[in-house]
Amino acid sequence: MKTIVIVGAGPGLGMAIGQKFGQNGFQVALVSRNQDKLDNLAAQLKSEGIEASGFAADLYNPEQLTQAFDQIKEKYGFIDVLEFSPTVGQFPPTPAMNVTADNALDQFQGLVLGAIHSVQQVLPAMLERQTGAILFTTGLSAIYPIPMMGNVGIALGGLRNYANNLHTDLAPKGIYVGHLSLGVFIKPDTPTDPKYIADAWYDMYVEKDKAEETFPVGVTPETIVW
């Protein structure tokens, strides 16, 4: 079986991605800070016939993250897909005029450095095998300046740059890197249900013909789905 690691797993999008990939033959490794939450999510996936386990780690702690990935590799072997979609930070989204070094660095450390460290845990083996996929989920401020997302947008813009450069570097080596930017407020049982985002991600993963897409396709700050 193939294995997907979901960094930033929660009951919404992370669970939906785990269900979608799990229904298509993947084992699911869930990573976030709270082991009890992870155990509950894994139990739900197992109840649906999907092999899953949780591995607690704080993105701001590289040693914890490395340890979690080591445990995942010991349990499941080669990691075929890394999906990165955490909510991070000790500061809320901050308007551009109120951005400080502290609230900007906080987001950068969690999103950008957390992503880099996560990628470093899977990339050597993917390069050795010339296969694998790395998926980055962000918000629309990764692409468009949105003043009220001042501190978050700085980090997400950097994460998008990293993702697109990785795509350029790794596509010739057989590794797919994709970026999906969300222009929705996720709500279950609506057109913005996380299961539809998971469907979009799985389609991008299977087709591997796009480095980047928005959800919904073509969404802008003026057309964000509330």
For the stretch 54-83, pLDDT in tens is: 999 999 999 999 999 999 999 999 999 999
Contact between residue 81 and residue 3 where contact means Cβ atoms under 8 Å apart: yes
Tell me the sheet residues that pair with 177.
134
pLDDT mean over 39-47: 98
Task: Produce one character per residue of 199-225: b if its CB has 16 or more CB atoms within 10 Å, e if not.
Answer: ebbbebbeeeeebbbbbbeebeeeebe
The percentage of the chain sitting over the pLDDT mark of 90, rounded to a whole number, equals 100
For residue 31, the tally of other CB atoms under 10 A from its CB is 28
Q: What is the pLDDT confidence band of residue 226, given thresholds at 50, 70 and 90?
A: confident
Are the CB atoms for 136 and 161 separated by under 8 Å?
no
pLDDT band, residue 185 (cuts 50/70/90):
very high
Spatial separation of the C-alpha atoms in residues 139 and 91, rounded to whole Å? 16
pLDDT the model gives residue 165: 98
> DSSP letter string over 71-85?
HHHHHH-S--EEEE-
Q: State the pLDDT confidence band at 52, using cuts at 50, 70 and 90.
A: very high
Mean pLDDT of 43-49: 98
The letter for the amino acid at 34 is N
Give percent above pLDDT 70 in the chain.
Answer: 100
pLDDT of residue 7: 98
Question: What CA–CA distance (Å, rounded) separates 212 from 163?
Answer: 9
Q: pLDDT for 84-102, tens place per residue?
A: 999 999 999 999 999 999 9
pTM of the predicted model over 0.75 = yes
Check residue 60 and give its pLDDT: 97
Over residues 141-154, the pLDDT tens digits come to 999 999 999 999 99
